[in-house]
């Protein structure tokens, strides 16, 4: 009996000793969350938090982490992983084949053609140097210009540029006013008939009707250049193909003709820019257009067609089959409120990315403190956080990687829905929670 009680005593002592030794290594399960729980800005909000330690395969902090939330631009993390797995080191610029008298070009959804952030233009330069008759093809493009569940009344906003098989100028037109005359880039739109609603005003603003480029309306405001999306005229149709030919003709300075069937078996491939440079721009600027086109390029690389819907289905059946919760994923950018993911889902993808992609690449692609969409946040924590923001009206997200002051590597996801205060208030509270984790763990 004495031996039995002695064993019990030793076991109890061991448990107490183990607890004492490990308590300093375990993060408090309430303290970081108190920033959110005690903040009145979160009173009516729904939020989920997951903090994961890869080295021990354990969650250090969870709050509704298995619930589904609208992730906004955190969706780009999913698109980023999809792109890294399917696009290789360089992006496919176009595919083409030649005959004795002609060259046939297939648009493959590459987004950098005439894009203001990318000076290197191999597709445009290649076509400029051709002496043969050029035919453009839109075969294998199966997507719509606008995504599933996008807010239709944002169709003019540059953050909701339409998708296409051969994007040009980011699918955005810029208007300029000079001595009362209006010009545009691309110049194709300068010839449109304008309706001036404020002829006596000195400034201007531009609007257009849904799904058409036939009429742009000028309203008197300031004189600064104005950007507005243009309609791609349903890029998978003959009308959309002809429209793309018109824009491409201006870009290369020669006629471009509509093609019919594209002979993919005999086609050559032209590559242009590093994949990481486009993904970095996409993630740092939270560029919806680049995200959508990257998903379509991934689809072409994997499936031989440009279909966001089919590529999403493919990834959910393969790479993402073991996600903790079954998500609803409908676009590449996160513009749609139909997207639903849990914080644990993002931890799963981020952990998978960390295992399969070099850390140097990830650190370049993701924004760190006071950089990109984290500008003004996490100052003095450069190198301690690498994350992607997400923002829609009443929805905020932040997911990524942490390196604490003690050198611990962690993965986290915070998703907040249905708040009624300002997004900046939500972000600042999340910042307090994250910086405490960086400082104390």
CATH number at residue 312: 3.40.710.10
Last residue of some domain: 276, 307, 333? 276
Residues 183 and 109 in one domain: yes
pLDDT in tens, the chain (441 residues): 444 444 444 444 443 333 333 333 455 545 788 999 899 999 999 999 999 999 999 999 999 999 999 999 999 999 999 999 999 999 999 999 999 999 999 999 999 999 999 999 999 999 999 999 999 999 999 999 999 999 999 999 999 999 999 999 999 999 888 776 778 999 998 866 566 665 556 677 788 888 988 767 777 767 789 999 999 999 999 999 999 999 999 999 999 999 999 999 999 999 989 999 999 999 999 999 999 999 999 999 999 999 999 999 999 999 999 999 999 999 999 999 999 999 999 999 999 999 999 999 999 999 999 999 999 999 999 999 999 999 999 999 999 999 999 999 999 999 999 999 999 999 999 999 999 999 999
Determine, yes or no, domain membership for 239: yes
Residues 285 and 261 in one domain: no
Q: Alpha-carbon distance 336 to 151, whole Å?
A: 7
Residues 236 and 281 in one domain: no
Determine, yes or no, domain membership for 171: yes
Residues 216 and 103 in one domain: yes
Give the SS3 label for residue 54: helix
Q: Which domain holds residue 141?
A: 86-276
Residues 268 and 198 in one domain: yes
Total residues found in the chain within this entry:
441
Cα(first)–Cα(last) distance of the chain, in Å?
Answer: 44
Residues 163 and 219 in one domain: yes
Residues 361 and 434 in one domain: yes
Determine, yes or no, domain membership for 8: no
Determine, yes or no, domain membership for 23: no
CA 178 from chain centre, in angstroms, equals: 35
Contact 306, 299 (CB under 8 A): yes
Q: Which two tokens stand for residue 5?
A: 């009680």
Q: Which two tokens stand for residue 107?
A: 């648009």
CA distances from 79 to 110, 173, 385 (A): 15, 26, 20
Pairing of β 102-107 and β 367-368: unpaired
Residues 266 and 124 in one domain: yes
Last residue of some domain: 276, 308, 332? 276
Determine, yes or no, domain membership for 7: no
Q: Which two tokens stand for residue 99?
A: 């005959």
Determine, yes or no, domain membership for 6: no
Query: Among all chains, which residue has been given the structure tokens 């349903």?
Result: 234
Give the SS3 label for residue 409: strand
Q: Alpha-carbon distance 216 to 196, whole Å?
A: 9
Residues 337 and 356 in one domain: yes
Determine, yes or no, domain membership for 4: no
Query: Number of C-alpha atoms within 13 angstroms, CB side, residue 341?
Result: 35
Peptide bond preceding 186: is omega within 30 degrees of 0, i.e. cis? yes
Q: Where are the beta strands (DSSP E) in 108-264?
A: 133-137, 172-178, 181-185, 193-196, 205-208, 215-219, 226-229, 256-258
Q: Alpha-carbon distance 198 to 218, whole Å?
A: 7
230, burial (CB in 10 Å: exposed 0-12, middle 13-18, buried 19+):
buried
Residues 284 and 363 in one domain: yes
Determine, yes or no, domain membership for 369: yes
Contact 112, 166 (CB under 8 A): no
Computed on alpha carbons and rounded to an integer, the radius of gyration of the chain in Å comes to 26
Say which DSSP state 191 is in: G
Residues 196 and 344 in one domain: no
Contact 270, 126 (CB under 8 A): yes
Candidates 47, 44, 26, 51; CA nearest to 412 is 51
Contact 321, 329 (CB under 8 A): no
Last residue of some domain: 225, 246, 276? 276
Q: Alpha-carbon distance 438 to 51, whole Å?
A: 12
Residues 117 and 95 in one domain: yes
Structural domains in the chain (count) = 2
């Amino acid at each position: 009996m004495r031996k039995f009680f002695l064993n019990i005593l030793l076991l109890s002592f061991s448990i107490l000793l183990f607890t004492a030794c490990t308590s300093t290594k375990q993060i408090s399960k309430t303290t970081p969350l108190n920033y959110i729980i005690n903040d009145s800005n979160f009173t009516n909000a729904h939020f989920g938090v997951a903090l994961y330690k890869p080295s021990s395969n354990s969650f250090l902090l969870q709050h509704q982490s298995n619930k589904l939330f609208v992730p906004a631009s955190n969706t780009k993390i999913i698109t980023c992983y999809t792109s890294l797995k399917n696009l290789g080191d360089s992006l496919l610029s176009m595919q083409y084949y030649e005959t004795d008298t002609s060259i046939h070009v297939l648009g493959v959804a590459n987004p950098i053609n005439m894009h203001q952030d990318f000076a290197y233009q191999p597709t445009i330069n290649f076509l400029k140097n051709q002496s043969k008759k050029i035919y453009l093809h839109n075969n294998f493009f199966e997507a719509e210009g606008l995504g599933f569940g996008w807010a239709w009344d944002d169709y003019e906003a540059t953050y909701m540029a339409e998708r296409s098989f051969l994007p040009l100028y980011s699918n955005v037109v810029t208007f300029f006013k000079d001595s009362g005359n209006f010009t545009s880039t691309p110049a194709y739109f300068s010839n449109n008939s304008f309706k001036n609603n404020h002829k006596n005003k000195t400034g201007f603003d531009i609007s257009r009707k849904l799904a058409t480029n036939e009429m742009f309306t000028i309203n008197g405001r300031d004189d600064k250049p104005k950007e507005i999306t243009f309609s791609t005229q349903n890029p998978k149709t003959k009308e959309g193909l002809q429209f793309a030919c018109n824009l491409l003709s201006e870009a290369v300075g020669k006629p471009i003709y509509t093609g019919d069937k594209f002979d993919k078996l005999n086609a050559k491939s032209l590559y242009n820019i590093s994949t990481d440079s486009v993904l970095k721009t996409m993630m740092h600027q939270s560029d919806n257009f680049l995200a959508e086109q990257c998903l379509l390029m991934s689809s072409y690389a994997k499936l031989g067609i440009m279909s966001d819907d089919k590529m999403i289905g493919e990834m959910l059946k393969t790479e993402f089959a073991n996600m903790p919760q079954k998500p609803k994923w409908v676009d590449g950018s996160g513009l749609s409120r139909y997207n639903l993911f849990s914080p644990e889902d993002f931890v799963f993808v981020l952990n998978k990315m960390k295992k399969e992609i070099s850390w140097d690449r990830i650190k370049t692609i993701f924004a760190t403190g006071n950089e990109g969409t984290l500008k003004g946040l996490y100052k003095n924590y450069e190198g301690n956080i690498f994350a992607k923001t997400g923002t829609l009206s009443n929805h905020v997200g932040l997911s990524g990687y942490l390196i604490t002051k003690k050198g611990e590597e962690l993965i986290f996801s915070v998703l907040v829905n249905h708040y009624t205060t300002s997004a900046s208030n939500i972000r600042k509270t999340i910042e307090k929670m994250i910086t405490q984790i960086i400082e104390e763990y």
